Each structure stands twice: as structure tokens, then as C-alpha cells.
Amino acid sequence: MTQTRERDIEAHLRDRIKAAGGLAYKFESPGNAGVPDRLVLMPSGRVAFVELKQKGKKPTKLQEVQHRRIRSLGFRVEVCDSKEAVDRFVADITQAGEAE
């Protein structure tokens, strides 16, 4: 069984977010290593940062520090290590908008 590559999981996220009416920008912040891979913007002002990993891989210590900083400001940070995890995240962020 072949492992799904991180870039394939990232492409799946982009496609699913676009289909749900949102944007999934590649997020890079020079001088701030460890920031999440994608900034997700959804209708009604919903925002989340998404770290993408291969199945079973965990964020590095530096990434965990950045995730805590972002969460401490009230933003959502998700770690997705599979297409199924992406699907759960997209379903959740989409349903959150329907409740507004």
C-alpha cells in the first residue's frame, strides 16, 4: 500500500475548499519558520490555518510553537494527515458557517 504524499493531501484540501466556496492560500511568512501550510478563508469570515502532513506524521516542535501562538490569538489551527482528515475539516468548517 502506497502512502499518500503530503502534496496530494494539500491539493485535495485546495480542491475541497474551492468547491465549498472558499480560498486556501499557500501561507508563507518570511522570518517565521514553522507557520502552517495553508490559510483557509471561508464565506462569512471563517478563518483557519491548516498544517498538512503525511499519514502518521506529527508537527515539529517549532510548528507546535507557532500553532500555539496562532491559537492564543483565537484562530483555528488544524493538522490534517490524510484526505479523510481534510474531508472532516471541510465538513466542520462548512457546517460552522451554516449555523451562523
The per-residue b/e assignment along 4-26, b for 16 or more CB within 10 angstroms, e otherwise, is eebeebbebbbebbeebebebee
> Which residue's C-alpha cell is 507557532?
66
- Nearest CA-CA partner of 9 in 48, 53, 41: 53
> Over the stretch 38-85, which tens digit does the pLDDT of each residue have?
999 999 999 999 999 999 999 999 999 999 999 999 999 999 999 999
Distance (Å, whole) CA 45 – CA 33 = 26
Q: Check pLDDT > 80 for residue 28.
A: yes
